[in-house]
């Protein structure tokens, strides 16, 4: 699941960013507040930041979970979500744990085709 990001403009309070999923060509628009950015837009688009990469990863995770749901694997999708977030205060806190859950999600999608 790859996303292609496009910088679509700037306003006084932030940036407009358009993400397009390469597989489904679905377009997702985000308004990214400037005061929360750690970088400014470059000449050819937004400069990558940790926050932008995390946002893109989150959209990709959502798309993969949605694919799992569309293929009728509701129980598996809920199980993976519960592994990552058990409650509002109890969730995985290390990248290693989170990446292992993401790998399980990818493996389940690959196993069902």
Domain boundaries, the chain: 3-112
Whether 52 shows a pLDDT value over 90: the answer reads no
- The more confident residue out of 93 and 54 is 93
Per-residue pLDDT at 102: 95
Whether 65 shows a pLDDT value over 80: the answer reads yes
DSSP class per residue in the chain: --EEEEEEEE-SSEEEEEEEETTT--EEEEEEEGGG-SS-EETTEEPP-HHHHHHHHHHHHHHHHHHHHHTT-HHHHHHHHHHHBSSSS-B--SHHHHHHHHHHHHHHHHHH-
| Overall pTM surpassing 0.75 (yes/no) | no
The total of other beta-carbon atoms located within 10 Å of residue 29's CB is: 9
- pLDDT > 90: percent of the chain: 27
Angle, alpha carbons 30-25-98 (nearest 5°): 60
């Amino acid at each position: 699941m790859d996303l292609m990001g496009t910088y679509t403009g700037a306003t006084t309070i932030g940036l407009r960013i358009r993400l397009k999923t390469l597989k489904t060509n679905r377009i997702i628009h985000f308004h990214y507040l400037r005061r929360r950015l750690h970088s400014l837009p470059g000449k050819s688009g937004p400069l990558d930041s940790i926050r932008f990469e995390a946002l893109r990863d989150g959209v990709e995770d959502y798309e993969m979970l949605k694919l799992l749901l569309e293929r009728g694997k509701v129980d598996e999708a809920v199980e993976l979500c519960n592994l990552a977030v058990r409650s509002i205060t109890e969730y995985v806190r290390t990248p290693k744990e989170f990446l292992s859950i993401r790998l399980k999600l990818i493996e389940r999608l690959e196993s069902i085709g």
